[in-house]
């Protein structure tokens, strides 16, 4: 079988490779999701709808962005490093190049493969099927083994990305066995998480892995259909939700509607609980559950499970807002704004010293003195990963005269790596690894600390435990991880707060 890579560079497309921005130090304490994917087909040019969707989904990946459209018998693509607005703007005149009424888009945060431009999506290939472009959110846990197998069969790879492995597997299997047989075979061989949108020439497809780890939702617009990682991207384009792509389902989306081609059955469901806790935007609805309500419920559960006598509830802005509101509603303790975030210091540099890190926090956050002085404060956030940021915020509140600071967290302790598309790769990153509740409390410098329980988490999201992935808080994964990664899983220590 003849497979020729047709990256945007080789096709001569205009490509911007803007300087790689440094990760923001404060936000860098939070785990990052892998990517966002988008697709559009309809009666109007695809580019504007895909662009606005990617901007709406920027929170899912800030390293690179790309769009591929089908026009005049070929796929044109453009991708670059940086934020969506840095890669695509008036100066780059992309609407003149990315013509056509069908296309896909991608934003990336690398969790597998390097951060190089070559790994930016969408990925492109040409084989006997024609031109293929693919965007991927998730992580293929057996990508290394599959890559070796495909190499032995004579296929070549241009990048270190697991997405290229996924695309080559799909492209090979579909061209040999047809769409149904090929996708079934590929789904059998691919392990891990994948929510994908892809073009085969002018046809738009979307698929989720059988566990349904990452979200994917379809909306209807006046001019056609849009599919995206989160429903907020549908809202921004005036689309109404039609439905989620089902776990294991491959759909073809055309101007006339949605055709379910096949559904590969899974043994169970494993929707990522962190989508509800932190990753997804609160205004999104994922698998019929509104993210904001889940977070509000988490705050309420936290108030029931970890009550404390205090004067006021604050959120760590902006990540802990809904949970803090829920805590306040359930406890009857007033909610207030005690910490103000500087919205325009979003992309500061990684600070090498303790002093400069503290300055970075000060650049990012400030206190409202009257709300803090002499108060017993409950400080709520969605999660703690490393603990350094929380330590700085608690110190900031104390310096401003807080009498007591009680930290409450709307997620159980994160103690295990994620192998399914989230940037939490080693357990030594986590403040909760090898520490009990009292020891973590000491690290962050709080008067008391409480986490929501796994039971509280599951009930707050409103799905059964069997429908969720809880791997990073329990160490029990829904899918086997590759052999080279497995020892880390076996090393996990149990943690009981």
What are the catalytic residues?
Answer: 35
Q: Does 298 bind ligand SF4 (CB under 6 A)?
A: no
Task: Reduce the DSSP state of residue 208 to 3 states and report it.
Answer: strand
Rounded to the nearest 10 degrees, the angle between the axes of helix 143-152 and helix 162-189 is: 90
Count Cα atoms within 13 angstroms, Cβ side, for 37: 30
In the set 217, 272, 328, 380, which binds ligand SF4 (CB under 6 A)? 272
Least Å distance between CB 242 and ligand SF4?
A: 25
**3-class DSSP state of 298:** helix
Nearer to ligand SF4, 117 or 270 (CB): 270
| Interaction of residue 495 with ligand SF4, rule CB under 6 A | no
Instruction: Pick the binder of ligand SF4 from 228, 310, 458, 469 (CB under 6 A).
Output: 469
Region 195-224 residues binding ligand SF4, contact defined as CB under 6 A: 213
The answer to the question of residue 457 lying near ligand SF4 (CB under 6 A) is no
- Find out whether 106 and 66 touch, Cβ atoms under 8 Å: yes
Q: Does 451 bind ligand SF4 (CB under 6 A)?
A: no
CA distance 228 to 37: 6
Choose the binding region for ligand SF4 from 146-154, 238-246, 429-437, 463-471 (rule: CB under 6 A).
463-471
Q: Which residues lie closer than 8 Å to 438 by C-beta, 6 or more apart?
A: none
Q: How far apart are CA 18 and CA 67, in angstroms?
A: 16
Binding segment toward ligand SF4, per CB under 6 A, in 58-66, 103-111, 270-278, 340-348: 270-278
From the CB of 31, what's the least distance to ligand SF4, in Å?
Answer: 7
Q: Which of 360, 280, 392 is nearest to 34 (CA)?
A: 280
Among 274, 314, 327, 495, binds ligand SF4 (CB under 6 A): 274
Do 423 and 111 touch, CB atoms closer than 8 A?
yes
The smaller minimum CB distance to ligand SF4, of residues 272 and 405, is found at: 272
472 touching ligand SF4, by CB under 6 A: yes
Q: Is 23 in the site for ligand SF4 (CB under 6 A)?
A: no
> Binding pattern to ligand SF4, positions 389-418, x when CB under 6 A?
-----------------------------x
Least Cβ distance, residue 484 to ligand SF4 (angstroms): 17
Stretch that binds ligand SF4, among 73-81, 324-332, 449-457, 468-476 (CB under 6 A): 468-476
447 close to 405: Cβ distance less than 8 angstroms: yes
Distance CA 450, CA 207 (A): 38
Q: Terminus-to-terminus CA distance in the chain, angstroms?
A: 55
How far apart, in Å, are the Cα atoms of 209 and each of 187, 267, 389, 478? 7, 12, 34, 12
Q: Which residues form the interface with ligand SF4 (CB under 6 A)? A: 213, 272-274, 418, 420, 422, 469-472
């Amino acid at each position: 079988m003849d497979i020729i890579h047709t990256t945007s560079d080789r096709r001569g497309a205009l490509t911007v490779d803007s300087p790689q921005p440094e990760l923001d130090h404060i936000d860098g304490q939070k785990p990052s999701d892998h990517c966002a994917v988008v697709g559009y087909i309809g009666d109007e040019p695809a580019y504007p709808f895909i662009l606005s969707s990617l901007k709406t989904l920027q929170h899912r990946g800030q390293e690179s962005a790309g769009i591929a459209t089908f026009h005049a018998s070929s796929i044109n693509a453009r991708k670059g490093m940086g934020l969506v607005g840095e890669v695509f703007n008036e100066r780059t005149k992309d609407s003149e190049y990315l013509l056509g009424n069908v296309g896909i888009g991608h934003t990336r945060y690398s969790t597998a493969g390097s951060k190089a431009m070559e790994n930016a999506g969408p990925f492109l290939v040409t084989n006997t099927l024609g031109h293929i472009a693919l965007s991927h959110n998730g992580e293929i846990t057996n990508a290394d083994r599959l890559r070796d197998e495909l190499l032995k069969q004579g296929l070549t790879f241009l990048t270190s990305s697991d997405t290229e492995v996924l695309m080559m597997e799909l492209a090979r299997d579909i061209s040999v066995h047809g769409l149904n047989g090929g996708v079934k075979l590929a789904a059998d061989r691919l392990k891990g998480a994948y929510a994908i949108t892809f073009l085969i020439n002018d046809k738009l497809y979307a698929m989720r892995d059988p566990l349904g780890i990452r979200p994917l939702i379809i909306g209807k617009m006046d001019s056609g259909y849009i599919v995206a990682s989160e429903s907020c991207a549908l809202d921004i384009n005036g689309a109404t939700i039609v439905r989620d792509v089902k776990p294991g389902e491959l759909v073809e989306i055309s101007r006339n509607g949605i055709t379910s081609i096949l559904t590969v059955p899974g043994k169970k469901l494993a929707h990522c609980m962190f989508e509800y806790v932190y990753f997804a935007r609160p205004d999104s609805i994922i698998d019929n559950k509104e993210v904001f309500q889940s977070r509000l419920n988490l705050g309420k559960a936290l108030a029931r499970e970890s009550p404390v006598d205090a004067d006021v509830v604050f959120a760590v802005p902006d990540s802990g807002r809904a949970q803090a509101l829920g805590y306040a509603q359930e406890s009857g303790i007033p909610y207030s704004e005690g910490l103000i975030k500087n919205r325009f210091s979003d992309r500061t540099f990684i600070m090498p010293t303790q002093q400069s890190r503290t300055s970075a926090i000060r650049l990012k956050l400030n206190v409202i003195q009257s709300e803090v002085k002499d108060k017993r404060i409950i400080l709520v956030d969605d999660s703690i990963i490393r603990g350094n940021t929380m330590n700085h915020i608690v110190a900031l509140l104390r310096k401003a005269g807080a009498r007591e600071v009680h930290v409450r967290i709307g997620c159980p302790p994160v103690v295990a790596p994620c192998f399914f598309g989230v940037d939490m790769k080693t357990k030594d990153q986590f403040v909760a690894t090898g520490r009990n509740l009292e020891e973590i409390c000491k690290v962050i410098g709080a008067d008391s600390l409480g986490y929501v329980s796994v039971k509280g988490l599951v009930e707050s999201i409103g799905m059964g435990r069997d429908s969720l992935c809880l791997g990073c808080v329990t160490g029990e994964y829904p899918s086997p991880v590759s052999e080279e990664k497995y020892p880390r899983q076996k090393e996990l220590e149990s943690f009981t707060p």
